[in-house]
Amino acid sequence: MTRQNLVKIMLAAFALLAANVVQAGKYQNFKVSTYIRAQDVARMEDDKFLKSTWETVSSQVDIDKIYIETHRDAFIVPEKTINKVKKFFLSKGLEVGGRHNIHQI
């Protein structure tokens, strides 16, 4: 999946949530959460991909919590990358979640 396709999918999901919101900033009646697939978490080892994806998504909707997928099928994200991505999103003020038997976020 290309970065452009990932952004399109995320924006479509966020557009559905944001369609009824008329107030700018964090939402008062609900929290917005999303998740990142393991393959995309692994790609976020690249600072350019991580920052540009965040800039695109965060310019469209205010996210409160993000779930980091640590594995999918036989694919496991390196712990170093998980920690880097977690630190990045915590620095943006997001709650971060995710869990697998060998990784606890």
Q: List the chain residues with pLDDT less than 50.
A: 20-25
d(CA 61, CA 3): 18
pLDDT for res 52: 94
Q: Give the domain extent around 14.
A: 3-104
Q: What is the model's pLDDT at position 29?
A: 86
Q: Which residues contact 89 (CB under 8 A, 6 or more apart)?
A: 54, 66, 68, 96
The pTM assigned to this predicted structure is: 0.70
Looking at residue 98, its pLDDT comes to 85
- Whether residue 62 contacts residue 89, with contact meaning beta carbons closer than 8 Å, is answered with no
pLDDT of residue 23: 43
Number of structural domains in the chain: 1
Task: Identify the sign of the CA torsion 21, 86, 43, 67.
Answer: negative
**pLDDT in the model for residue 20:** 47
Predicted local distance difference test score (pLDDT) of residue 16: 58
Spatial CA neighbour of 96 closest among 55, 57, 63, 67:
67
